[in-house]
Amino acid sequence: MNSLLNVPLSQWPEIIEGLGGEAYRAAQLIDWIFKKRVFSFKKMSNISQKVREGLEKNYSIRSLMLSGAEESKVDGTTRYFFKTEDGHDVSCVYLPFEHRRSLCLSTQAGCAWGCVFCASGQVKFQRNLTPSEMIDQVFFIEEIVGKPLDSLLFMGMGEPLANYNALVDTLNMVRSPLGLGFGARHVTVSTSGLVPQIEMLAESAPKVNLAISLHAANDPLRKTLLPKSSAWSIKEVLNAAKTYSKKTGATVTFEYVLLGGVNDSEQDAKRLANLIRGLARYGDYWVNLIAYNPVPGLPYVKPEADKVDLFKSILTVRQVPVRVRKPQGVDIGAGCGQLGEAR
Ligand code: SF4
């Protein structure tokens, strides 16, 4: 049965009217689901019985089944496994930090983008996830943890911008004060650099932070690492980033996974600094360096620690804001780029 969460919130008043109720009851329905976390229409006592029966007959609310969990012994990061109603595997990663709780959630079952170093890219693309399947990852984790999450990262399995319409519907529910109510600075969408969709997102989606996977400072190398997304040149990707930050005022992060001996040289760092440092006048930009988390079966290795330090300092002296991402969940294969098939 179709989840009500696959219908944009703006259409809920019409649904209620269609079932013989008053349009304003949509706000009560939203409140039951998003604030009270009541997932049975039968229990929504301030909505008429007729409307409740109509909703019950036509819609479900939840759509995933929890099938397992694996917790890191090192840092408490936990990967949760789910099954969709049609049997696909979905997973998300809960990241407990000292003062906040984040969730890295998936947007597709499998990924068709084939970035050569990424475990998700090795999992055959099956289908896009629905808004309900994305929101359900949040419902489950908040229920399990017993506390609200502080931030959401659309960085799990899949290319979020290749599932554009469902992503935007989900972001509307995530950002709406009536829905999950996350602030713009607490939601980040990642992309391997789909230029047309970045431009659309700038125009039509609720404001969120954007993380763009660059991973190389020249086009030929980027083509070997991100064969599909390099359909757009680095210049086009940077121009889309400028458009995004000019239109939204949101932070743009450039993700750069350091692969030992592949893209971690001093020359790579200088080239990257040259690409990024001119952008500061357009908005808030960061470079996020990620020391590669090894994936079984792939030929890439972690860079040496002093190479990571040197790479970072080359960017810093050129006044490019840069951070090195702290590895999380690596021992359970839940680190950045490690999210492969369910084990
Ligand atoms: S980096 Fe993102 S887009 Fe590329 S293969 Fe992995 S999940 Fe897909």
Report residue 221 as tokens: 């190398």
Q: Give the number of other Cβ atoms within 10 Å of residue 284's Cβ.
A: 14
What value, to the nearest 5°, has the Cα angle with vertex 216 and ends 162 and 192?
Answer: 10
To the nearest whole percent, how much of the chain has pLDDT over 70? Answer: 100
Work out the pLDDT band at 2, boundaries 50, 70, 90: very high
Mean pLDDT of the chain: 95
Ligand 1 contacts CB of residue 121 (under 6 A): yes
List residues with catalytic annotation.
Answer: 336
Does the beta carbon of 113 lie inside 6 Å of ligand 1?
yes
Q: What pLDDT, on the 0 to 100 scale, is given for residue 343? A: 65
Domains, in order of start, for the chain: 4-58 (1.10.150.530), 64-332 (3.20.20.70)
Instruction: Answer for the pair 104, 153: CB distance below 8 angstroms, yes or no.
Output: yes
CA distance 105 to 91: 7
Distance CA 171, CA 209 (A): 12
Alpha-carbon distance 295 to 222, whole Å?
A: 19
- At 90 the pLDDT is 96
For ligand 1, pick from 90, 106, 118 the residue to mutate: most ligand atoms within 8 Å of CB: 118
Instruction: Give, for 235, the enclosing helix (H) or strand (E).
Output: helix 234-248
- Does the beta carbon of 255 sit less than 6 angstroms from any atom of ligand 1? no
Asked if residues 331 and 72 have their Cβ atoms less than 8 Å apart, the reply is yes
Please tell me the predicted confidence (pLDDT) of residue 204: 86
Which residues face 96 on adjacent strands? 101
Q: What average pLDDT does this structure show over 98-125? A: 94
Closest to 170 in 3D by CA, of 3, 9, 1: 9
Residue showing tokens 């064969």 = 227
Q: What string of DSSP letters covers 64-88?
A: EEEEEEEE-TTT--EEEEEEETTS-
Q: What is the mean pLDDT of residues 318-328?
A: 93
- pTM, whole model, 2 decimals? 0.95
308: alpha, beta or left? (left if phi > 0; alpha if psi -120 to 50) = alpha
CA distance 301 to 45: 57
Length of the chain counted residue by residue: 343
Contact 322, 65 (CB under 8 A): no
Which atom of ligand 1 approaches the CA of 156 most closely? 7
Q: For ligand 1, what atom is nearest to the CA of residue 226?
A: 4
Give the Å distance between the CA of 21 and the centre of ligand 1. Answer: 44
Band (111; pLDDT cuts 50, 70, 90): very high
The continuous run of DSSP H or E covering 137 comes out as helix 131-145
Closest protein CA for atom 4 of ligand 1: 115
Distance 115 CA to ligand 1 centre (A): 6
111 lines ligand 1 (CB under 6 A): yes
